[in-house]
Amino acid sequence: MKKIIAWLIRYVPRKYLQRVSGVGLKAVSLFYIGNNVTCPVCSRGFRQFLPYGRIHPRPNALCPNCLSLERHRLIWLYLQQKTSFFTAPHHVLHIAPEACFIKRFEALHGDRYITADIESPLAKVKMDIHQIPFPENTFTVVLCNHVLEHVADDIKAMSEIHRVLQPGGFAIMQIPFFNPIPDVTFEDPTITDKREREKIFGQDDHVRKYGHDYTQRIARAGLTPVADEFVNQLPDDIRRKYGLVKGETIYVGYKN
């Protein structure tokens, strides 16, 4: 299973995987039913989560029912426990929406929940993040996870997120980090060979390797950055139960 998943996510374009992966993995989930771990997004229990990763698959990562990964389960708990996302109406822009969230967030916020992407078949709005087609001060929440490492100009993209956020609104903007993490984010647009990109940036469709200066980049876009160590505040048994990674930081940008 580990090798099959790794091959699929490495070589099959994301837009095609999004159409078919849910059906296939729901069948697989029947063989993983148990109570060692629980997905907080879909509330299903399993013996363990599936492995996930392109080159070195991580064990206990992918929920076979709703397709949540560690970062999705962490974001769910963060929104639930540290924000009003689940208890108050919000106008939400969800960029590159994850399948595990779409129906659940739509049920919470109705037509004020907008999904957008440049190519995803799951999104309502076709959109280039460098030119978000909404007026300024439109949204109270923007979700933009594992997107910025793919785009030509991440500062411009985050500036657009700042523009469309209402004052007091926030954006969650997770990005991947690959060891060794540099002090300063590295990017080189002349590197176009896919295998070379994979070697340098961690994935063949990434265009930068983020460093410890990520919060400074958020600030350059006009947002007030917060690096929240929420996951480290959870008890060890809760992290094990939900398949979370200790040390994974939630990056939030606020519009003052």
In a shared domain, residues 146 and 212: yes
Q: Which domain holds residue 33?
A: 1-68
Count of the separate structural domains present in the chain: 2
Residue at a domain's end among 40, 68, 96: 68
Q: pLDDT tens digits for 72-127? A: 999 999 999 999 999 999 999 999 999 999 999 999 999 999 999 999 999 999 99
pLDDT the model gives residue 29: 64
Where does the pLDDT of residue 7 fall: very low under 50, low under 70, confident under 90, or very high at 90 and above? very low
Q: Are residues 151 and 195 in the same domain?
A: yes
Do 29 and 120 lie in a common domain?
no
**Judgement on whether residues 107 and 154 belong to the same structural domain of the protein:** yes
Phi and psi, residue 32, nearest 5°? -115, 5
Q: Which element (helix H / strand E) includes 165?
A: strand 165-172
Taking only the tens place, the pLDDT of each residue in 36-68 is: 999 999 999 999 999 998 778 899 999 999 999
What's residue 25's pLDDT?
62
* Dist CA 244 CA 69 (whole Å): 9
Q: Are both 140 and 251 inside the same structural domain? A: yes
Cα(197)–Cα(165) distance, rounded to whole angstroms? Answer: 32
Rounded to the nearest integer, the mean pLDDT of the chain is 92
92 and 181 belong to one structural domain: yes
Residue that is last in its domain, among 41, 68, 95: 68
Query: Rounded distance, CA 152 to CA 9, Å?
Result: 22
Residue 103 lies in a domain: yes
pLDDT digits (tens, 9 = 90+) for 183-219: 999 999 999 999 999 999 999 999 999 999 999 999 9
User: In sequence order, which residues have a C-beta less than 8 Å from that of residue 212 and are 6 or more positions away?
Assistant: 181, 182, 183, 184
Amino acid residing at 246: K
155: which 2 tokens? 């500062």
